[in-house]
Structure 1
Amino acid sequence: MKFGITQAFDCSYLPDKKEQLLVCVEPKETLSDIFSQLTQSGFRRSGEQIYRPHCNNCSACQSIRVISRAFSPSKSQKRVLSKNRDIQIKISDHDNPDYYPLYERYINEVHNDGAMFPATYEQYTSFVNCEWNQPLFIEGYIKDELIGVAVTDVLDDGYSALYTFFNPELSARSLGTFFILQQIALCAQQDKAYLYLGYQIDDCRKMNYKKNFYPTERFIHDKWVLSPKNE
């Protein structure tokens, strides 16, 4: 496989840090065949690009995945499921015009201090959609109103949670947790071993929710290692 390394740029998660990415530069027609293999090796998709952090003096980013076959929701996660039992789940394999207005509102109200602000339609499509890969869209509805979407990539051994966005007015429902639980449940229903959650950075407060799903494994020194339960 062929790879390239980006120039160093300001880290999106840790202040005063620089980051570089290792990017797969194989032809698009071959990326779909190697996507699962690369994800199993700590890579992740963003739009058309498959990448992995490749920083000279920092190893804070660790790919993390939930072992779906061994997962059991905690008491707090059971409360989230109970709180949202009125949400109807549907699964689609194509983008929907109703998604972008919800995404735009979510980015501009919830993540207006992040790199994705302000949201634009071009940024949304270049991030979510992919010529060589068709993600799933896990939709949540309350009384026929779309309230959230989890964009999920399909892998040989599981699913990869690309991004979730939802109605900011419903933040008290813990919809981020709710949609992860839906993706884990989908893995279990289809006998898929893992839900990949992207990268965990322990010093980044916004990422620490990923530790709440146990058991998980982290990709450390080119192998998957079981995370301590009390981390």
Structure 2
Amino acid sequence: MRSDRVRLFQTLPHACGYFAERTAQNLVIDPAAPQLDQLYGPALERGFRRAGGHLYYPYCTSCRACTPCRIDVERFTPDRSQRRCLKRNEDLQVIESMAGYNAERHALYERYLRQRHPGGGMDEADASDFRRFLTAPWSPTMFLEFRQGPRLLGVAVTDVCQQGLSAVYTFYEPEETARSLGTFSILQQVALAKRRGLPWIYLGFWIAGHPKMDYKRKFRPMQIRTSEGWVEMAEG
């Protein structure tokens, strides 16, 4: 993306979602750009991520902790714990669905946010919040639904680009913790990428040593983006 063709904006400082004592800023590709659908894939390759209708990259003056990461689909093999996760969820049906709002999805989304993010500002999400955060008119989004019979247990919001899949967000039944549905959703996105011949699963950002991000290290081989480009994450 050349700066003479695409405008970048920098947000004002705001509270960091990962470190309470820090503030954060993002670079955002012009949300009014008419070609956002064409920019999305190259932006993923450069470490950007979608939230709603915005493509952004963390760009904080005193911190560079957020590191873009992606799974190498062709070389990925589930480890023992991930194989157990697949076994626990053999009773679930995985359905490739059109993205969008409906009452069933919204009810699950609300339950998930109230349990997992209480008091975080997202736990009273109405229908417009659902649409605004999870979808965008230009984004190539699909919903992977996980169902036990007719019961909806989880939704993996997944963007499908030529460069690979972007795992945008997953929400699931908070009472089903034993199923490890977060892990299951990534494994199903890997399976989808393999079916479609796509090389990467973009998992957003990884932060070294942060407990909320440690799960991403388990999907190996994993690449992270550095100043030299994409490199394989070291073991350990």
Q: TM-score, normalised by structure 1?
A: 0.95
The aligned residue for residue 47 of structure 1 is 52
After TM superposition, the structure 1 = structure 2 runs for residues 143-162 of structure 1, keeping only pairs within 5 Å, are: 143-162=149-168
| Percent identity of paired positions between Structure 1 and Structure 2 | 36
CA contact (8 A) 2:193 2:201 kept: yes
Structure 2 residue 103 is matched with structure 1 residue 100: no
Structure 2 residue 88 is matched with structure 1 residue 64: no
Instruction: State the aligned residue count.
Output: 230
Secondary structure of residue in 2 paired with 1:70: coil
Structure 2 residue 80 is matched with structure 1 residue 75: yes
Aligned residue identity for 2:42: Q
Cα deviations by residue, 1:85-143 (Å, 9 ceiling, x for unpaired): 00001001232412111001000112215342333322211101101113010000101
Secondary structure of residue in 2 paired with 1:209: helix
CA contact (8 A) 1:86 1:142 kept: yes
Secondary structure of residue in 2 paired with 1:169: coil
CA contact (8 A) 1:12 1:115 kept: no
Cα deviations by residue, 1:168-223 (Å, 9 ceiling, x for unpaired): 11111100000100001111111110000011112421121111100010111151
- Unaligned 5+ runs, structure 2: 1-5
The aligned residue for residue 192 of structure 1 is 198
Secondary structure of residue in 1 paired with 2:99: coil
The aligned residue for residue 178 of structure 2 is 172
The aligned residue for residue 132 of structure 2 is 126
- Unaligned 5+ runs, structure 1: none
CA contact (8 A) 2:101 2:127 kept: no
RMSD: 1.3
Alignment partners' CA distance in 1, 2:119 and 2:40: 31
Q: How far off its partner does 1:29 sit?
A: 2.3
CA contact (8 A) 2:14 2:23 kept: yes
Cα deviations by residue, 1:49-100 (Å, 9 ceiling, x for unpaired): 0000011111100011000000000000000000000000100123241211
Alignment partners' CA distance in 2, 1:20 and 1:78: 38
